[in-house]
Amino acid sequence: MASSQPHNVFLMTEILELILLETETRTLLTSAQRVCCKWHLLIQDSSDLQAALFFKPVSYTLPRGTPGIRNPLLEECIWPWFCARQARDWKAPPVEGGAKIPQIDPQRDQLFFREGASWKGMLFQ
């Protein structure tokens, strides 16, 4: 019979933090925080995990000329939604050259504008 006790490695905060730092951003933001209260608190309280989620700046400086790392969630989800929303609201004419403006479901606006939406506190890079 399977035990409901977590493996001992997950009880050591330092090791758990290192494991979570290797987790994909979207999973870290959503699913990982729902595993248990301990994980949620660790993700909320860890400066390194908050930096990995683009809620806080990183604690190091990149060498001059090195491009910063863009926030993949803003780039993949929020930016296309924002562009589509602006095009819809401005009733933009068709774009020349065959470029496509992403289509958006107006009902999804509620997801992005709800109170406490995490993306509102994120850094771009």
Q: Take residue 48 and report the two structure tokens written for it.
A: 């390194």
Q: How far is Cα 84 from Cα 61, in angstroms, rounded to an integer?
A: 34
- Mean confidence (pLDDT) of the chain: 76
Domain ranges for the chain, please list them. Answer: 7-58, 70-109+120-124
Q: How far is Cα 79 from Cα 102, in angstroms, rounded to an integer?
A: 10
- Read off the pLDDT of residues 20-67 as tens digits, 9 standing for 90 and up: 999 998 899 889 989 999 999 999 999 999 999 888 888 777 678 777
Which backbone phi and psi does 2 adopt, to 5 degrees? -75, 140
pLDDT of residue 100: 56
Q: At what angle do helices 37-45 and 13-21 cross, to 10 degrees?
A: 70
- Look at residues 33, 50, 29 and name the one whose alpha carbon lies nearest to residue 58: 50
